[in-house]
Structure 1
Amino acid sequence: MANIEVKTQFGELSINPDQIITFPRGIPGFEEYKNWTLFHEIDDQGNLANAMIVHLQSMDDGDVSLPLTDPVLFGFNFNLMLTDSETAELEIDDSGDVIVLVTLSVKSDAPLCKHKQVKENIYANISAPFLINTKSKIGIQKILPDNGS
């Protein structure tokens, strides 16, 4: 199957259809967008611009992209309990197939989200991690309950 071309804020990307991740319910705030892909930004010399950041790029709208990172890189480990419905939706056979990523933002001014500062002026949203089954290519964003901490 031929690659899919998508124009983005990072330039034109050529995406292998096998790398498309489906979010069946969309993502909160972007419910209409179901098809996404992960990619690393490449600089002008063809090198990784930042290996710690991966972009979740909408295949439905080239202008929509979210910077994500592995929370473990910053010393934060999730112990997530999934509902039976979430496990079924993600088609999880082996928990090792699931990666957890969190959204990065430049400043923490969203009062409804818990953030963990990971670098000066950079925050990770730890209240709504992304879970992606790398085998089935299905993802969800899990909104965690506020436990008051």
Structure 2
Amino acid sequence: MVQIQTVHLGELTVSQEDIITFPKGIPGFEEVTEYILCDVDETYSYLQAVNQAELAFIVTDPFLHFQDYEFELSEELIKDLQLSEEKGIAVRCIVTWNSDPSRTTANLLAPIIFNISDRIARQIVLQNTFYQTKQKLNATSAQEGGES
């Protein structure tokens, strides 16, 4: 078992198997490669750094908010994360929280892709898309975000 200090959730005890490795880190935080995913409720989770109590991201499943959200994974990413249907894939997007719920946003431009079985993940930046880094969560469709 691993003890993790967190700012938002206090001290956590997690199994080594719960640790998710980001081999390349998260853009802007490349030196931090180990995280755990802690559910807050049925919609949101904390992606908490294992060795930095103050580093945590609120994440959500984008498909809960944007049913028409879609993108293709590159062959490079599929290979890097050793993805396959048997291993299971999860997608999360980082949320920018606001005390005014109408101003809470999700980064649909840079989703995080998880290989569930092997506990490895990577944040990618989508190319040639209208998705935004600050897509309002209260929008009924991702296309309201600026497609012309």
**If the length of structure 2 is used for normalisation, what is the TM-score?**
0.79
> In the alignment, is residue 22 of structure 1 matched against residue 26 of structure 2?
no
> In the alignment, is residue 138 of structure 1 matched against residue 115 of structure 2?
no
Instruction: Name the CA distance, whole Å, in 2 between partners of 1:89 and 1:147.
Output: 22
Partner of 1:55, secondary structure, is strand
Q: Is the 8 A contact 1:34 1:60 kept in 2?
A: no
Instruction: Give the letter aligned to residue 69 of structure 1.
Output: T
Deviations 1:81-116 (A, max 9, x none): 222221111111217701011111135xxxxxxxxx
Number of the residue aligned with 1:80: 71
Number of the residue aligned with 2:60: 69
> In the alignment, is residue 102 of structure 1 matched against residue 93 of structure 2?
yes
RMSD between aligned residues: 1.7
> In the alignment, is residue 5 of structure 1 matched against residue 20 of structure 2?
no
Instruction: Name the CA distance, whole Å, in 2 between partners of 1:132 and 1:27.
Output: 13
Number of the residue aligned with 1:113: none
Number of the residue aligned with 1:45: none
Partner of 2:79, secondary structure, is helix
Instruction: Name the CA distance, whole Å, in 1 between partners of 2:81 and 2:126.
Output: 17
The size of the alignment, in residue pairs, is 128
Select the structure that is richer in strand.
1
Measured at CA, do residues 22 and 77 of structure 1 come closer, stay the same or move farther in structure 2, by a change above 3 Å? farther
Measured at CA, do residues 63 and 93 of structure 1 come closer, stay the same or move farther in structure 2, by a change above 3 Å? same
Deviations 1:4-51 (A, max 9, x none): 00110120011111011110000001100011110123xxxxxxxx32
Number of the residue aligned with 1:57: 48
Number of the residue aligned with 1:90: 81
**If the length of structure 1 is used for normalisation, what is the TM-score?**
0.78
Instruction: Name the CA distance, whole Å, in 1 between partners of 2:19 and 2:44.
Output: 18
Shift of 1:79: 2.6
The percent identity for this pair of structures is 27
> In the alignment, is residue 40 of structure 1 matched against residue 39 of structure 2?
yes
